[in-house]
Structure 1
Amino acid sequence: MEYKIFEKDLNEELKNSYLLYSLSVIVSRAIPDVRDGLKPVQRRILYSMSELSLRHNSSFKKCARIVGEVMGKYHPHGDAAIYDALVRMAQPFSMRYPLVEGQGNFGSVDGDPAAAMRYTEARMQELGEYMLLDIDKNTVDFRDNFDGSLQEPIVLPTRVPNLLMNGSSGIAVGMTTNIPPHNLKELVDALKVLIDNPEVEIKDLLKHIKGPDFPTGGVIVDGENLEELYETGKGKITIRGKYKIEEKENGTSIVFEEIPYGVSKSDVIEQIVKFAVKKKDEKKDPGIRDVRDESDKEGTRLVIELKRDANIKRLINDLFKHTNLQSYFYAQMNVINKGKPSLMNLKELMQAFIDHRIEIVTRRTNFDLEKAKKRAHIVEGLIKAVQGIDTVIEIIRNSLNPQDALKNLQDTIGVSEEQAKAIADMKLISLSRLETDNLVKELNDLYAQIKNASDVLQDKEKLMNIIKEELDEVAKKFGDERRTEIVLHKGELADEVDLIRDENIIIVLTKWGYIKAIPANEYKVQGRGGKGAKGLKISENDNVKELVFTNRLSKLMLISSAGKAYQINTYEVEMGSKNSKGEHIANYIGLSEGEKVKTLIPISLDGDYDKDILIFTKLGKVKRTSLREFMNARSSGIRAINIVENDTVVDAIVLDGEDKNLLVVTKKGMALNFNSSQVRRMGRDAMGVNAIKLKKDDEVVDVVLVDNNKKLLIITERGYGKRVEFSSYRPQNRGGIGLKTVRDISKIGNIVAAMSVEDGEDVLIFTEKGKAIRVNVDNITVLNRITQGVIVVRLDKDDAVVDAIEVKDD
């Protein structure tokens, strides 16, 4: 025997062989076809079920029978892989629109596996049948199966946009695909727009396709990133469970009615328990009393019972942070396009489906046209035979045999061979007048069909209208409402603002972090020296820390001790009264351990983002930054200023477009007047520059815009106050020690507040014990720069002033 020996480089052979293997896996197993959105195993399952006549209105058959049919005829890769694919196609929590209807145990959202295939049964959903419509009309090409004994379709002539409708996931060699599911109605609307205008941009398609629509619902919380995902074909989607708060006699509960796609509910419960145990070990009880699963056939219901003192907002944030109640979907829209793997964006995927439908409808119309032409040809011969029936009978009677009869018919009455055969097969009953009329009617109908099919093939607009009509039929029959909510962190205020009445309010923040909004008209004007009214219900050892005057339809920026900026809608702050406690600030923003809110800044939506903000620290630093740098600040916070140890933010001022003179006031009675032009604009991570040079044990308490039409009001911790002309403070250079603004600090106490006021205005003064007094500034004497001032509020022996704000009445 003669052998042929080939010498090959091992590295090159391995490289070529592995490349062939990887391409085989990519094309033949793991990545879906862009046209029907199916992997080969899924396509073979649906085709086999069609051959078994497992329609939506037929009886179920054992899954073992279906798996055997698929494996024996088309997919010799093992029964487990086929059954897993079949099960997934029937799971309503895996497929947005299931293509298979299962009977029996097909697994659960908790991660429970399906029963063995010998126990379960299945048949096609009606939607699955729409994947195979017109497959018998030469609409798709077929190829040999693995052993060449049968033919299988290369692609299905799907009438539904399955790839984007149900999504797909798979891992191949060096490649992965993860396409999210979408709402069918939204898809159809967008496809019709693309059909009408092939030049439409993706951002216009997204007016119809809001984003992914997962079968388990949930909330997409970074909707602003979706356009980039659809433009590039890849990106990250953040999904959270949807919850509600239930108040019952036995306490408060957080109830999750939807969980993120692909997340096991049992895993989430285990994670919650571990989180609660860990926090208790750290002596930071999260306030969870019990966790239980009350889910049933009606839907998901994960109940988290809370203790009486639980901080709900903080706990919810912790649950999202430490459990899979917040998860991520990493989209990678890889598909097989024209036999090759490709990363495609949304428009390309949709256009590929439209192109597929154009080919299917064109081939179907050609098939129907040829069929109608053939039938019309036969009917024409039958009508000709009926009209000369005596001659036909005579020819057949005098012919020697059937073959001779057919030839004589062709020669004598001028018909084709096919027509002659049809005439020979015609029954005598067809000679009745009624049957003759039916032949004429059928011929006219066939002529109409031929004309219509020819028009469709010649007029692209008519063909596209057919595609749109069929899409409308699919949407009407199988479409439903969106399940997944999409939230944008960017953009204008939510629609709920339309229901909120704007009004002037005071935002109050206490030392221990309780915040509330109070209508400004709750406070009545009193004379100088009054004892004041109760301003805030506080717990023992708590006291008022920060106050701002604003309105309900503004934004509220919070600058923290760690130099971070947080931003919330002011209307989100719970409205209270003078005697209410308020909600803890952790219900609104996510502070780190040990981090405290130092300054509240109200921000108007009509232009404030185009201004600059000056941030001042306790140790005399100042930093100027464009407010637009903080436009995307959220409740999770972003860096506002880089500060050193032992320093904190004490004030922030928004400039109205032009540089102003600023007066920096310290607690020991120093004040420095300098122009903001001496502070250059910096980035968010900068540390800033020196605003004032501080003496030992001194620190900045307030910064005031200089306005010679107003006066400087100073309030001290022992209730003293005075008004001073701004002209008393000459402009100086930034970084100096400033001028003395009060004398005898030991008697009147440290300065706690400084502000710019007009004649006739009111101010609110708050004390450590929670009292508040509203005073008209006309009752506070105008004095020289170094004087000590007059008594503005009489304090109890162990009380002290902590802050003051100006109040403007409408």
Structure 2
Amino acid sequence: MPVVEVIPLHETTRERYLNFALSVITSRALPDIRDGLKPVQRRILYAMFQHLRLYPDARYRKSATIVGEVMGKYHPHGDAAIYEAMVRMAQDFSLRYPLVDGHGNFGSIDGDAAAAMRYTEARLRPLAMQLLEELRRQTVPMRPNFDGTLFEPVVLPARFPNLLVNGASGIAVGMATNIPPHNLGEVIDALIYLIDVPNAPLETILERFIQGPDFPTGGRVLNTREELLEIYRTGEGPIELRGEYKLEGKTRIVITSIPYGIAKADLVEKIAEHIAAGKVPQLSDVRDESTDEVRIVLELRRGADPEAAMAYLFRHTPLQTRFHVNLTCLVPTANPEVAAPRKVDLMTMLRAFLEFRMEVVVRRLRYDLEQLERRIHILRGFEKIFGALDEAIRIIRAARDKADAAQRLMHRFQLDDVQADAILETKLYKLSRLEIEAIRQELEEKERQAAELRALLADEAARWGLIREELKAIKKQFADARRTVIAGPDEGFEYNQEAYIVDEDVYVIVTRDGWVKRQRSYTDVQSIRVREGDTVGWVLPGSTRATVGFFTNYGRCYTTRIDSLPSTTGYGDPVQKLFDFSDRERVVGVVVFDERALPRPVPEPEVEPALFENGEQEAPRVHVVAVTRKGQTLRIPIDGFREPSTKNGRLFMRLEKGDEVLGVEVAAGDENVCLASREGYVLIFPVHQIPPVKSAAKGVIAMRLGRGDEVLGFTLASAAREGLEVETSRGRREIVRTTKFEVSRRGNRGRQIIRRGQLVRVIPAPVEIRLNGQG
């Protein structure tokens, strides 16, 4: 009978998820600070080196062969992931210094994918050998592979800091990394300086050696020196990266480099979309004339300002992007097979590599010394029998077998097993006088080399000198010129959005379900196209250079330029496409911030002046008034909502749990607020009784509600408006207006207009006469 073990679900869930997270962090997503490689990259290079012998001078082998070798022996996580990692190591636009020499279609900077692995071939590049060659000399710890049949290196014995040189990116569980590439020559110069001046400050390294990131696709870094210093000190921060361009005559702009990680074809397509939409009036056409070099040609209109065109493209296309630096990597612990994730700074990365390099060099020297001593030991055995060579031959001839011969030689000449076996395995002609001289010369040379190695192992300064020379050799062989320009802030490009907008009078049309568009004209509201079941909620006039604000039931305002709204006679777009709305968030008020469409503010009545919290009297200005379902109200100036907002909008009212804004309307200051509650109470009071606030607030009580009651709707009524029309549960309609109900004070319960039944809904005013959301 099976045994059933009862365990707490929350404990086992936490334990297993943490195990999964740790596995992703250490075995998938993050690079090691020592060799700068993720496990899959390390296994690909190791399999190509150790098993397939795909050295730079070898013939290419099918990528499918490489992927199969890696997947079958070291990385059983699927061929797609392995091939994708190998492809990236072969792309000169992905890695600053590619490690794999790809033959065939390995993708392009246009965003094209690589050909299938059965069509492409690959081998190692010479620089990759600098990561791998010392594996033969037992320089790094090894561990069993996934099924325990083979061993793989914990880390590669890198001779250069691959993590900084090629960078890395990855997303783990709860953490991520995004390390930019750097120039090999600059990084090696910084390492050599740190060998000589171990306590050098970060400021010196950045000032004299590492200028900043060096991306394979070039570009210009716009950060100041102070910003770069802070990024490298903290291990995180944004790098502003912009493509480069030049002018050819008066009619062409040629883009010569693009930001790192951007697909060139997508960039050209986005530029073409903006030109076709008339959003860059300075440009008439774009075409891609790139070969091995990037060359995107922009055609200028006659007399157009090229800087204005480029300012627009930098603002609205990926021609200028941000690279968010995150120097998170795996740092070794006391256990050589275990590394822990940690966010580090630039100096930690440089010093960690030097420490690792010293460990590798020590292990390499010890291995070389061990091999020399083993050979010296054998050579000394040959030297011992040289004076009695005839006797040694007689002993061998008289022996019963090889073991007996070995024992007799060991006894006669004071040899050990290794020396005796070497003598017995040697061909007789090598024991001639000439060969013995060669053996003695070799012994002398080997002893000299062993003495040098012992001196190196005993002298740390000499070992640092050896590391310095090896770094210089790598720089001489592989370093190249910087591609990315560290330009600093460019003050010459000031973006003024109105310069790119054709001033045109249009109508902003918003439906009750939140679909928005703009049209130049319409005959009547009924002719406006809306989706089935939807109705027009707002039709507001305004200029394309003005902005429009969408006020929602969650107390937020989202502002954008009218020019950004889709111009169509169709349905338009849902407003959520423009902004990041929360679940169940919807538009309850729309305001066009065009002065011609706004009412003229009137002074507050002297009997009750409007005051800010500090007691100062407010100058006449236009406000928006909001009322919530629980009877709260707020009056706030529109000035803070005129400028375009982010996709997250701006908060204008703080709501209690379970409450929501019913509507938002514009107030000049002389209107009356008309409210109605579900239980049949109505209230009218002057809008100036709502104290204005400067910023988002909870508001004040508009209408005191009974238990279980809620506000059904409201409107702002002036002399030209009729008021708030409501419908009872019996189908009767009533208009809440000053000609029928007296003007009262804010905060009371109001007057009950129905004894039996309830009010069921507020009937919206006809859209034709609405101005900025007011009836």
1:289 aligns with 2:284: yes
* Other-structure match for 2:218: 217
Q: Distance in 2 between matches of 1:293 and 1:31?
A: 36
What is the CA-CA distance between 1:468 and the residue it aligns to?
1.1
Q: Could you say what secondary structure the match of 1:377 adopts?
A: helix
* Other-structure match for 1:246: 248
What is the CA-CA distance between 1:279 and the residue it aligns to?
3.6
Q: Distance in 1 between matches of 2:253 and 2:163?
A: 36
Q: Deviations over 1:630-663 (max 9, x none)?
A: xxxxxxxxxxxxxxx9xxxxxxxxxxxxxxxxxx
Give the aligned residue type for 2:48: M
1:48 aligns with 2:43: no
Q: Distance in 2 between matches of 1:117 and 1:409?
A: 59
* Other-structure match for 1:330: 324
* Other-structure match for 1:390: 390
Q: Distance in 2 between matches of 1:86 and 1:397?
A: 59
* Other-structure match for 1:92: 92
1:248-647 aligned within 5 A: 252-279=251-278, 286-297=281-292, 299-338=293-332, 339-489=339-489, 589-591=494-496, 593=498
Q: Distance in 1 between matches of 2:400 and 2:285?
A: 97
Give the aligned residue type for 2:379: V
Q: Distance in 2 between matches of 1:255 and 1:359?
A: 50
Consecutive unaligned residues of structure 2, counting only runs of 5 or more, are 333-338, 501-594, 596-775
Q: Distance in 2 between matches of 1:164 and 1:594?
A: 42
* Other-structure match for 2:191: 191
Give the aligned residue type for 1:464: W
What is the CA-CA distance between 1:402 and the residue it aligns to?
2.1
| Shift in alpha-carbon separation, 1:380–1:227, aligned structure 2, 3 A | same
| Shift in alpha-carbon separation, 1:117–1:592, aligned structure 2, 3 A | closer
Q: Distance in 2 between matches of 1:49 and 1:397?
A: 48
Q: Deviations over 1:371-402 (max 9, x none)?
A: 11110010011122122202212222232332
Q: Deviations over 1:549-578 (max 9, x none)?
A: xxxxxxxxxxxxxxxxxxx7xxxxxxxxxx
Q: Deviations over 1:669-713 (max 9, x none)?
A: xxxxxxxxxxxxxxxxxxxxxxxxxxxxxxxxxxxxxxxxxxxxx
* Other-structure match for 2:727: none
* Other-structure match for 2:65: 65
1:627-706 aligned within 5 A: none
Q: Could you say what secondary structure the match of 1:136 adopts?
A: helix
What is the CA-CA distance between 1:406 and the residue it aligns to?
1.1
What is the CA-CA distance between 1:278 and the residue it aligns to?
3.5
1:735-746 aligned within 5 A: none
Q: Distance in 1 between matches of 2:202 and 2:254?
A: 37
Instruction: Give the conservation status (yes or no) of the 8 Å contact 2:170–2:178.
Output: yes
Instruction: Give the conservation status (yes or no) of the 8 Å contact 1:385–1:423.
Output: no
Q: Distance in 2 between matches of 1:152 and 1:95?
A: 24
Instruction: Give the conservation status (yes or no) of the 8 Å contact 1:239–1:326.
Output: yes
What is the CA-CA distance between 1:458 and the residue it aligns to?
0.8
What is the CA-CA distance between 1:435 and the residue it aligns to?
1.2
What is the CA-CA distance between 1:589 and the residue it aligns to?
4.3
* Other-structure match for 1:800: none
Instruction: Give the conservation status (yes or no) of the 8 Å contact 1:133–1:159.
Output: no
Q: Distance in 1 between matches of 2:155 and 2:284?
A: 54
Q: Deviations over 1:705-731 (max 9, x none)?
A: xxxxxxxxxxxxxxxxxxxxxxxxxxx
What is the CA-CA distance between 1:488 and the residue it aligns to?
2.5
Instruction: Give the conservation status (yes or no) of the 8 Å contact 2:220–2:486.
Output: yes
Consecutive unaligned residues of structure 1, counting only runs of 5 or more, are 491-567, 569-586, 596-644, 646-810
Q: Deviations over 1:229-256 (max 9, x none)?
A: 1101111101111110001xxx511101
| Shift in alpha-carbon separation, 1:463–1:86, aligned structure 2, 3 A | same
* Other-structure match for 1:141: 141
- 2:235 pairs, out of 225, 233, 257, with 233
Q: Distance in 2 between matches of 1:403 and 1:161?
A: 51
Q: Could you say what secondary structure the match of 2:415 adopts?
A: coil
Q: Deviations over 1:282-309 (max 9, x none)?
A: xxx5221210000012x11000011112
What is the CA-CA distance between 1:425 and the residue it aligns to?
1.9
* Other-structure match for 2:24: 25
Q: Could you say what secondary structure the match of 1:305 adopts?
A: strand
Instruction: Give the conservation status (yes or no) of the 8 Å contact 2:311–2:494.
Output: no
Q: Distance in 2 between matches of 1:424 and 1:145?
A: 38
Give the aligned residue type for 2:94: S
Give the aligned residue type for 1:184: L
| Shift in alpha-carbon separation, 1:320–1:37, aligned structure 2, 3 A | same
Q: Could you say what secondary structure the match of 1:593 adopts?
A: helix
Give the aligned residue type for 1:428: L
1:132 aligns with 2:132: yes
What is the CA-CA distance between 1:4 and the residue it aligns to?
4.5
* Other-structure match for 1:152: 152
Instruction: Give the conservation status (yes or no) of the 8 Å contact 2:275–2:285.
Output: no
Q: Distance in 2 between matches of 1:112 and 1:125?
A: 23
Q: Deviations over 1:342-395 (max 9, x none)?
A: 000001011111111111111111111111111001001112212220221222
What is the CA-CA distance between 1:91 and the residue it aligns to?
0.2
Q: Could you say what secondary structure the match of 2:114 adopts?
A: coil
Q: Distance in 1 between matches of 2:12 and 2:402?
A: 66
Q: Distance in 2 between matches of 1:590 and 1:114?
A: 38
Q: State the superposition RMSD in angstroms.
A: 1.7
| Shift in alpha-carbon separation, 1:334–1:107, aligned structure 2, 3 A | same
Q: Distance in 1 between matches of 2:63 and 2:121?
A: 5
| Shift in alpha-carbon separation, 1:150–1:594, aligned structure 2, 3 A | closer
Q: Distance in 2 between matches of 1:401 and 1:313?
A: 92
Q: Distance in 2 between matches of 1:453 and 1:18?
A: 49
What is the CA-CA distance between 1:591 and the residue it aligns to?
4.5
Q: Deviations over 1:97-120 (max 9, x none)?
A: 000010111111111100000101
Q: Could you say what secondary structure the match of 2:381 adopts?
A: helix
Q: Could you say what secondary structure the match of 1:330 adopts?
A: strand
Q: Could you say what secondary structure the match of 2:136 adopts?
A: coil
Q: Could you say what secondary structure the match of 2:498 adopts?
A: coil
1:98-137 aligned within 5 A: 98-137=98-137
What is the CA-CA distance between 1:411 and the residue it aligns to?
1.2
What is the CA-CA distance between 1:204 and the residue it aligns to?
1.0
Give the aligned residue type for 1:454: R
Q: Distance in 2 between matches of 1:11 and 1:132?
A: 45
What is the CA-CA distance between 1:129 and the residue it aligns to?
1.3
Q: Distance in 1 between matches of 2:284 and 2:498?
A: 23
Q: Deviations over 1:21-80 (max 9, x none)?
A: 111100000000111000000000001111201111111011011000000110000000
What is the CA-CA distance between 1:336 and the residue it aligns to?
0.6
Identity %: 48
Give the aligned residue type for 1:47: Y
